[in-house]
Amino acid sequence: AQSVTQLGSHVSVSEGALVLLRCNYSSSVPPYLFWYVQYPNQGLQLLLKYTTGATLVKGINGFEAEFKKSETSFHLTKPSAHMSDAAEYFCAVSEWDRDDKIIFGKGTRLHILP
């Protein structure tokens, strides 16, 4: 069965610094991978997703993630953090051709320091 591990329940970065949120997955088949963001008192919003093809995926708000099969990772990055990036981020995985469900990680809360 698939699973997702997000390293660090809280991450703090300074405004303008690199954002790196880590996600490792476990899957016995080629997975589909997702990053979602949740702002306070709101639902989740899709940032980006990897299905097939190019392993570097670009999403909204300047975020991108790279699928590394050998490392079973799908880390989320943004070159320069903005105050508005403060939110909770969720990595998710699906074994789309075996079990049509999405499994979410526990989430990482990103804090932006002025």
Q: Which of 17, 49, 59, 77 binds another protein (CB under 8 A)?
A: 49
42 binds another protein (CB under 8 A): yes
Residues near 84 by beta carbon (within 8 Å), at least 6 away in sequence: none
Q: Which of 13, 24, 75, 105 binds another protein (CB under 8 A)?
A: 105
Q: Which of 94, 108, 110, 112 binds another protein (CB under 8 A)?
A: 94
Q: Which of 21, 24, 32, 85 binds another protein (CB under 8 A)?
A: 32
Q: Which is nearer to another protein, 15 or 58 (CB)?
A: 58
Residue 76 one-letter amino acid? L
8 Å CB contact between 78 and 105: no
Which has the closest alpha carbon to 9: 88, 112, 104, 93? Answer: 88
Strands (E), 27-107: 32-38, 44-50, 56-58, 64-68, 73-78, 87-95, 99-104
Beta carbon of residue 54, minimum distance to another protein (angstroms, whole number):
17
Q: Which residues bind another protein (CB under 8 A)?
A: 32, 36, 41-46, 49, 51, 90, 94-96, 99-107
